[in-house]
Structure formats: structure tokens, C-alpha cells
Structure 1
């Protein structure tokens, strides 16, 4: 469990307090209880002469800064804060239809392995299993905390990931989609951005137009203008502050914008 404890210390920043902090506290307790029940936590023998080294201050303590404005707080979002927020929202969405499928859990695990490596993913999944056991996580309060501290580009990436979770088991329930739409509202993501990301996963007939946030009646010049705007909005460099792993994760959104534009080029002949 030492690896888990050190991961927690490094992962929590502004997520330590508020509703996310409360959910994480419950999840840590659940993970520790599970490890104890399996005999994974052993007390050190009383006659041990090994000297304990002083425990370093947690990483999140060193990252604390004076109170700032909302805009300044959002620019301080770190990879660990995004990671924990992603785990909490994933647990909320996966439980929306009353059943958590193994394929959905595998999606979360595979995503974390791809993003962070196996060791970090294993630690994250211990926390995630604890979150799945907590029944009273307030979606609104969690999202309000995220919205207050997280920049818009990172919130869009969270929404993109949540749609991926709902598609993981091949069965998308109305409860899940409705909850993600509520989450988008709580995160201050407007309807055009929401519909754009949703169209990347559900492919309606007019998906290319929805992804570019335009109507079918758009002129060629309006399509070109929309493409430049969306390419800028979804450019992976927008997530540089979260770390290289998230830049790679954002490439999927960017590629879908490019494909949508290429599809309209072919259809409209320009």
C-alpha cells in the first residue's frame, strides 16, 4: 500500500477539499479496509530496531498557494487534479444506469494504463474501486468544484472521456446520456460544445456539421471558418499544462475535427 499512499500524496492538489476530497477520503478508507482484510497491511514488530525515516510532506501541501481569482485557479490545474476528477466523474456516470459492467471498468483501467503506465494505473484503480462503493456522491457539487478550478479545455477533455466510458460496453443507456448532459451544464460547457463532442461518439447523419458546430445550411466559407475555430479549440497543445500524456489523449478530438472537415470537403466539393 506504500505505492498507493505516495500516489495519493502526489495526485491531490485542489481536489483535497470539498466534495471531491470527501469522496476520495471514503475511497481511500475502502481501499485500506480491503487491503487489511486480505492481510496486505502488516504491523511492524514491536521489537524492531529499524529507525523510521521522517515522512516527507505530501506533494499537495507544497503546491498550496494563496487564494486567487477563479481564472487564476483554473490555470493551475495539474495532471493529478485532472486524474482524480476523471475518476470521480467516471464512477458517477458508470453507476447512472444501476449497473457497472466489467467492460466499462476495463475501459477506465486501459485508459489509465495508456496514459500513465501500469503502476500508476493500478494505484488509480484501487481508488476507483472505492469510489464505486460510495453511493452519495453529489454530481452537482463535484462538478461545481471542478468548474471553479479547471480550465475550459480540460473540462472539454473530461466530457470527451466520459462519452468513451458510456460506449465501452456497447450499450448506451438514456440515463447515462442524460447524466453526461447534466454534467456538461454543471461544468459550464455550452450546448454546441456538448453536441460537438457527443457527435464524435454517436455519429448522427449530420455528425460532421455538429462536430464543427455549424448547420447544414452553412456556406463553404462558414465551414472553413468553423474548422479553423474548432481546430484551435481542440488543439492538443491546449492541454500542455496537464502533461504530455494528456496531450496525446486530446489528439482523438482533434483528429475527429479534421475528419469532419475532410468529409464536408468531399461532400461539398471544395
Structure 2
């Protein structure tokens, strides 16, 4: 138990408490003897005293906060189509191995298997995330959730609607949502959707849109979340580059 709780406490801030903390506590109680939500909240209190952080300060979001938020939201999306697909679970595991290495990923996946058994309010979880996490980090959460939904090679309408609902709760507007969604589909119009414009946009508007998206999705905006979370940010950034190159090629720019 010691090594697991050491891992859990090392990178957590705001997710110690609230509905995310409750989900973590439930999951821990499922597979770690003598460790419950009450213990988690006590550890949260000690953590706050130890580092003297501001709970409402978005700048203090920890790497572990992003990790726990991913786990809880992923569990909601995976269950949204009424079944838990092994390919989606494998995708979550592979993403965590890629980000955190095997040992930390195995701990995270144990936790995930506990969280997925608990009914969690997407709205309450998203309110907690929204109050404590930057807009760039919230966009990255949505990108990851689409990756999970696409892992079984078919994104159901129920999954799309669940992610759309989560995006709304996270105060991510429709244009941003459609932009990220387009990164996971192949169609002639998707390059334009990714840049949040239409085919009717002028060459000048295309260039302006590209510069705006580069600024919005630059991986540097997620530096505070740790190197382990930059891979997904770079994939998202590459989608912007690819979309722009495709449009330039089509237009002979």
C-alpha cells in the first residue's frame, strides 16, 4: 500500500477532494485494504497544509490531477454506449504506459478498474475540473476522450454525445469541440473544421485561422502538467499542422 499511496499523493492537488476524490476513494477501497475515501480526504488535508497551496488556483494543477481527471472522464465515456469494450480498455492502458511507464500505468489502471464500477456524475466532476484546470488542459482532456472512443474503430453516437456533454460542462465551446472531433475523422472538410473555418474562407482567413490555432494548441501551454502529458498535446498540434498543409496544397498556396 505504501508505494501506491506515495504515487497517488506525489502529484495530486485539487483531485484529492470533491467528486473525483470520492471516485478515487471508492476505487481504492475496492482493492487496497484499509484505505478509504475518509483516508483520502485526510491525506488531502495534510497535503494542503504541507505545500500551502490554493485549491482554486489553476496554476497549481498537478500532473496527477490531470491523470485522475482522465481516468474518471474515461470511465464515463467508455460506459456511455452500454458496454465496456476491451479495445477501449486496452487503449487506455497503452496510453498510460506510454505516458507514465509500466509501474505507474499499472497502478493507474487498477484505479481505473475500480472507478469504472462507480456511478459518477459527469457534471459534478466537470465542475470540479473546470474550477481548477486551465482551458488548454481541458481541451487536451477532450482530445484524449475522442482517442478512447475511436479505439474500437467505431465512435457511437452515444459516445459522441457524452463527450459533447462533457465538453459543455468544461466550458469548451462548440467550435473547439468540432475542431478536436475532426482530428479523428477523414473527410474532405475536416481540415477546415480543425482550423475552425469553412471552405468559403479566403486565403488570408486560412492563414489567420492557422496562426490562431497554433497559439491555442501549442504544447508549451501544457508544460506545467509534466513531460508525460506532452505527447498527446504534440499529436493534437500535429493535426493542426497537417490540416493547414492539406489546405495549402489544395489551394496551391
Superposition TM-score, scaled by structure 1 size? 0.86
- 2:151 aligned with 1:163: no
**For residue 104 of structure 1, what is the aligned residue in structure 2?**
88
Shift of 1:9: 1.7
Gaps of 5+ in 1: 34-54
Distance in 2 between the 1:64 and 1:131 partners? 28
Aligned residues of 1:115 and 1:245 also touching (Cα < 8 A) = yes
Shift of 1:159: 0.3
- 2:51 aligned with 1:63: yes
- 2:179 aligned with 1:196: yes
- 2:110 aligned with 1:126: yes
- Max Rg structure: 1
> Which aligned segments of 4 or more residues in structure 1 are displaced greater than 4 angstroms?
57-61
Distance in 2 between the 1:64 and 1:188 partners? 28
RMSD: 1.8
Q: Secondary structure at the match of 2:152?
A: coil
Q: Which moved more, 1:148-157 or 1:243-252?
A: 243-252
**For residue 75 of structure 2, what is the aligned residue in structure 1?**
91
Gaps of 5+ in 2: 34-42
Shift of 1:168: 0.6
- 2:141 aligned with 1:153: no
Shift of 1:204: 3.3
Q: Secondary structure at the match of 2:32?
A: helix
Shift of 1:59: 5.2
Q: After TM superposition, list the pairs within 5 Å mapping 1:1-270 onto structure 2.
A: 1-32=1-32, 62-66=50-54, 73-134=57-118, 136-270=119-253
**Greater percentage in helix:** 2
- Distance verdict in 2 for CA 1:165–1:219, change over 3 Å: same
Shift of 1:66: 4.0
Distance in 2 between the 1:91 and 1:182 partners? 14
Superposition TM-score, scaled by structure 2 size? 0.92
